Amino acid sequence: MKIYKALTIAGSDSGGGAGIQADLKTFQELGVYGMSAITAVTAQNTLGVQGVYPLGEDAITQQLTSIGEDLKPDAVKTGMLFSAEIIRSVATQIQHYKWGNLVIDPVMVAKGGSKLLQQEAVQSLIKYLLPLSLVITPNIPEAEILTGLTISSLHDREEAARRITSMGSRYVVMKGGHDPSGDGVIDILYDGQEFLYMESKRVETRHTHGTGCTFSAAVTAELARGKSVPEAVYIAKAFIQAAIEDGLGIGSGHGPTNHFAYQTRLRGDDRGAH
C-alpha cells in the first residue's frame, strides 16, 4: 500500500485551530501522512495572538534538510512564513530537493488583525516562492496586498487572479469568504486561461479560525494523493464547508472549525460532533 506524504511549512498555533496543528489534522483526516517544519511559535487562542516567536533560519533549514534526506513529500504547503529571510530559506530548500505540488497559503493577517507576515516579506514571497508554486490560495485581503488592487466585486477578483498567475503560480484559488455580498460564497479557480466558479452556502458563525490553513491543507493532501488541481480544490471546499457548518463551538472568540466533520459525514457517525 502506498503511503502518501505531505509536508507543511508553517507556524505553530497553540490554540490548535490554525497553522501546523490544523494542517496535520487535515492531512490525517484525508488519509495522508503529515510532516512539518515549524517557522514560528505563536501564543494564541480564540481571542487573538498574544505573541509571535520566529525560529532562526538554521532551525528551519535543518528541519527541511532532515525531511529532504529521508522522507520525500508528495505535496508541500506553506503557511505562516513571517519574514523575507525565512521565505528565501524555504524557497532554496524546495528548489534543492525539487519538491513539487507546492501550495502557498499566503498567511498575512490573523482573524483578530495581528500581522503574521512582515511587509518587506511580501515582495520576497512574490519573487522567490510564487514561481515555484502549483497553487496559491489567497483570500480577498491577501489578494489586495499581493496585487495592489482594491477588490470589491467578482470582476476585481478575476483581475487579481490574472495578476497573480502572471507572477508565476500556475493556479489561483481566489476565496470569497470575505465578500459580504449575497447569501453564498463564491470561490474562483483560475488556471491562467479559464475560470471555474464554486459556490457554497454562507454560514453565519464566528467560529472560522483556521479556515484558510485547513482549506489549503486539504488541497495539499488531495494533490499528494494524485488528484488534479480542480479535483483537489473541490474536495477541499467540501471539507472546509463541513468543518464550518458542523462547528465545535469552543472558545470565547473566533473559535476553530471542526476537522472531524467531513469524515464524520462520510461515515454517518457522530465522532467529534458538537
* 111 noted as active-site residue: no
Cα 232 from Cα 217, distance rounded (Å)? 10
Choose, from 16, 79, 212, 247, the residue flagged as catalytic. 212
Closest CA to 225 of 31, 8, 16: 31
* 211 noted as active-site residue: yes
Q: How far is CA 191 from the centre of its chain?
A: 18
At 157 the three-state DSSP class reads helix
Here the cell at position 265 is 459525514
Cα 45 from Cα 209, distance rounded (Å)? 10
- Beta bridge partner(s), residue 122: none
Choose, from 42, 175, 176, 214, the residue flagged as catalytic. 175
Choose, from 15, 17, 210, 255, the residue flagged as catalytic. 210
Q: What's the angle, vertex CA 259, arms to CA 257 and CA 262, rounded to 5? A: 110
* 150 noted as active-site residue: no
Choose, from 61, 211, 257, 264, the residue flagged as catalytic. 211
Here the cell at position 174 is 481566489
- DSSP-derived pairing of the beta strands 195-201 and 102-104: unpaired
What Å distances lie between residue 200 and 142, 208, 231, CA to CA?
21, 15, 16
Burial of 194 (0-12, 13-18, 19+ CB in 10 A): exposed
* 210 noted as active-site residue: yes
Choose, from 26, 46, 165, 208, the residue flagged as catalytic. 208
Contact 45/239 with Cβ under 8 angstroms?
no
Q: What's the angle, vertex CA 119, arms to CA 113 and CA 124, rounded to 5? A: 130
Contact 192/134 with Cβ under 8 angstroms?
no
Choose, from 11, 26, 213, 255, the residue flagged as catalytic. 213
Q: How far is CA 49 from the centre of its chain?
A: 18
Residues with active-site annotation: 175, 208, 210-213
